[in-house]
Structure 1
Amino acid sequence: MSARDTVLGKIRASMRVSATDAERRKTVMARLEEAPRGVIPDRANLPKAGQLELFCAMASQFGATLTRVDDYKAVPEEVTTYLRSRNLPAEIRMGADKRLKKAGWETEKNLEIRHGASDGGDLAGVSHAMAGIAETGTLALASGHDNPTTINFLPEHHIVVLKAADIKGDMESVWTMLRKERGKGEMPRAFNLITGPSRSGDIEQTILLGAHGPRALHVIIVE
């Protein structure tokens, strides 16, 4: 008998249940299959336009900057404008996201684009969020070669592109969206929920930006 079997055996003994309890197994499988939703706050139950406005308000409250563009073709110019306004080099790190690749980056002649995961030497990185959560102004990003997780944490400035249609009222709706896209029981290697730039108040309760990640978060919403 392995150590695992010993531990689980003690747990079953203390609960006075059998390892072959068919009814308990049925209950567990039903719960996993149904994926029950949690309590949804009233402020998340808004029409689509209201969810967009709430997301922008909450993201701003937590320190993110935002801009809205009409389509993906306007994203490269907005990225360049952001870099120039903060006196940053015309360089970005970006994954292989199909929506970003088709945005027409060739229009920005002076912008250098590095592809793949960040090695920690990038000042600015561009990601595409899977979804936004209106009730908290949170971005949901799934890891993968299209949007490497390292870009979420290593560059000083994180620029995130978000499709307005992918903004959901609540977190539970994002989990539903993920299950629909990936399939039941399938998850990316990492799934990051990001609200505002990195900050910490550990030292004398003084807020320090960039403590554990980017010191600035800029969201470009494609309407």
Structure 2
Amino acid sequence: MNARDAIFANIRRSLGVTGAEATRRFEVERRIAEAPAGVVPKRGQGDLPARIATFKAEAERSQASVAEVDSLADAPAEVARFLRDSNGPATVRMGADPRLDALPWGETAQEISSGPSDGHDVNAVSMALAGIAETGTLALVSGADNPTTLNFLPDNHIVVVRREDIVADYESAFARLRSVYGKGGAPRTLNLVTGPSRSADIEQTLLLGAHGPRRLHIVVAG
């Protein structure tokens, strides 16, 4: 018996059960199938304009910057503006997301690189699965379309999220994940990112970029 089996055996013994009881197994299977939601905070609720307003306020409170553009096609120009205003190089790395790849990057002076980051990239662009209004959080899934290395290695992380993908709460974000990928098809990693990387471990002094990007810029596209 390994350690895991020993722990479960002790739990079953203390409860006076074997784990094979039909009623107990039925309850477990029902709960997994129905996935009942717990208490959901009210803060992120409302119609789409209200969710976007809350998302923007919460993201900025976490020291991210947020810009709204009329359409996805306007995202490259906004990325170029952000990098120019930040005195950053006009170089961008992104994954193979077809929505990003189809944008008019050639209309800007940016040099585009594709694939995961090896840690030497200053700027990266990702496409979010969802924005969560409740806390101004981005839901970012792993894969060739949006490599996880882009979320953490470059100094500047720029994330594009569609207006329609801004949801009220975490429960809605997980529901969206299930609806997009289906049962058993979810990506290996879901990263929930709120603001740029930071730490206050040393003398309670806030340091940006401690474990990831120093800047997080969010482009909300119509």
TM-score, with length taken from structure 2: 0.96
> Residue in 1 aligned with 2:27?
27
| 1:172 has 2:163 as partner | no
Kindly tell me the number of residue pairs found equivalent between the two proteins: 222
Alignment correspondent of 2:209: 210
Indicate the residue corresponding to 1:83 in structure 2: 83
SS state at 1:87 partner: coil
Instruction: From the superposition, tell whether residues 23 and 186 of structure 1 become closer, same or farther in structure 2 (CA, over 3 Å).
Output: farther
How far apart are 1:11 and its partner, in Å?
A: 2.5
SS of the equivalent of 1:43 reads: coil
1:101 aligned partner: 101
3-state SS of 1:44 partner: coil
1:70-102 deviation line (CA, Å, top 9, x unaligned): 112111111111111111111111001111011
Aligned to 1:140: 139
Deviation, 1:19, is 2.9
Instruction: Name the residue aligned to 2:41.
Output: 41
- Per the alignment, in what secondary structure is the counterpart of residue 42 of structure 1? coil
Q: How does 1:4-15 map to 2 (within 5 A)?
A: 4-15=4-15
Partner of 2:192: 193
Give deviations 1:28-81, integer Å, cap 9, x for gaps: 111110111121222222111100111111111110111111112111111111
Counterpart code for 2:187: P
Please give the alpha-carbon distance, in whole angstroms, between the structure 2 residues aligned to 1:72 and 1:6: 54
Q: Structure 1 regions of 5+ residues with no counterpart?
A: none
What's the counterpart of residue 126 of structure 1?
A: 125
- Name the residue aligned to 1:74: 74
Q: Deviations over 1:125-158 (max 9, x none)?
A: 0000000011111111011100000000000000
Give the counterpart letter for 1:79 in structure 2: V
Structure 1 position 214, deviation (Å): 0.3
Aligned to 1:117: 116
1:8 to partner: Cα distance: 2.7
Structure 2: runs of 5+ lacking an equivalent: none
User: Post-superposition shift, 1:185?
Assistant: 4.6
Cα offset, 1:10, TM superposition:
2.7
Q: Letter of the aligned partner of 1:144 in structure 2?
A: G
Q: Structure 1 residue 6: deviation in Å? A: 3.6
Secondary structure in 1 matching 2:31: helix
Residue 182 of structure 1: CA displacement? Answer: 1.3
Q: Give the TM-score of the pair, scaled to structure 1.
A: 0.95
Percent identity reads 51
Instruction: Give the residue type in structure 2 aligned to 1:63.
Output: Q
Does residue 220 (structure 1) correspond to residue 195 (structure 2)? The answer is: no
